[in-house]
Structure formats: C-alpha cells, structure tokens
Amino acid sequence: MQIIHRCGHTQNHEIYGNATSKSSRVAYLKTIDCSTCIRKSQNASAAIINQDADLPALIGTDKQIAWAESIRAKIIREATEYLAKTESYTPASPAEATEIEKIIGAIADLKEKISAAWWITNQYGLKTALKAVLEGK
C-alpha cells in the first residue's frame, strides 16, 4: 500500500492484520518519515556523534561517507565500551595484559581510519574492524 509520509515522500508498505490494526498502522506510518529519510537522518546524527568524538573527517563519495558515519559511530561506541571495561579490569596474566595493550593500540589506529570504503568493508562490528587493523588492512 502506498503511504505518503510526513517528509512528503511516497513509499510502498506491506500492511498485515485486521482492519483496526491496519488502519492504526497506516495512521502511524503517515506520522513518520519514509525509510530513506530516516536512514539519512540517522547517518547525519552519526556524523555529528563522530565529530563530537573528535574523529577525523572521512573521505569517499557523499553516499559512502553518509553510510560509513553510521558504521563508524556504532563500532567506536563498542570500542569505547571495551576501553571503559579494561580500566577496571586486572589482567589474569602478562600474556593477557599484552593482548589488551595490543587491542588498545589497535583502537587508537581504528580512530584514525578515514576511508569511508574501509569502514563499509569492515562494518561487521568491533572485532572485524580490529582484526583488519591488526592485519594492516
């Protein structure tokens, strides 16, 4: 069913359920932006978060950068959570301490990644991104 969203864009939606739930779903959809506009605004919010976190500007096409900002915001948030955990953690062995130091170093390198294409390639979470950094990719 074609819905005209708040942003003025028309989008097709599959709407299931009985008449009452359908009409409330339709009413709700009319009050929100289309999925393209939602994605755009999420990418824009991510760009602001990354800028506030003093991350460097990305390079790439406008489309790549917009997408990469969302990926980067999510992965950096994971990295920040990891760093916060390590602060109150005592490594069980020297080997583990070395491993943690290596990860902290990789996170610092990760924050310097400015290729939007790199973030898109390594979008599958902190682990994947750190693996790529440690492999020199």
Q: Least separation, in Å, of the C-beta of 67 and Zn ion?
A: 17
- Give Cα separations from 59 to 46, 56, 64, 69 (angstroms): 15, 9, 8, 11
> Does the footprint of Zn ion cover residue 63 (CB under 5 A)?
no
Give dist(CA 35, CA 98) in Å, integer.
44
> Does the footprint of Zn ion cover residue 7 (CB under 5 A)?
yes
Which residue, 66 or 126, has its beta carbon nearer to Zn ion? Answer: 66
Encoding tokens for residue 74? 């999510």
Residues 13-42 that bind Zn ion (CB under 5 A): 34, 37
Which residue, 35 or 98, has its beta carbon nearer to Zn ion? Answer: 35
Looking only at the bridges linking them, the beta strands covering 10-12 and 2-4 are: antiparallel
Comparing CA positions, the residue from 130, 38, 116 lying closest to residue 78 is 130
Among 1, 9, 24, 109, which residue sits at the site for Zn ion (rule: CB under 5 A)? 9
Which residue, 27 or 92, has its beta carbon nearer to Zn ion? Answer: 27
Applying CB under 5 A, the residues found at the interface with Zn ion are 7, 9, 34, 37
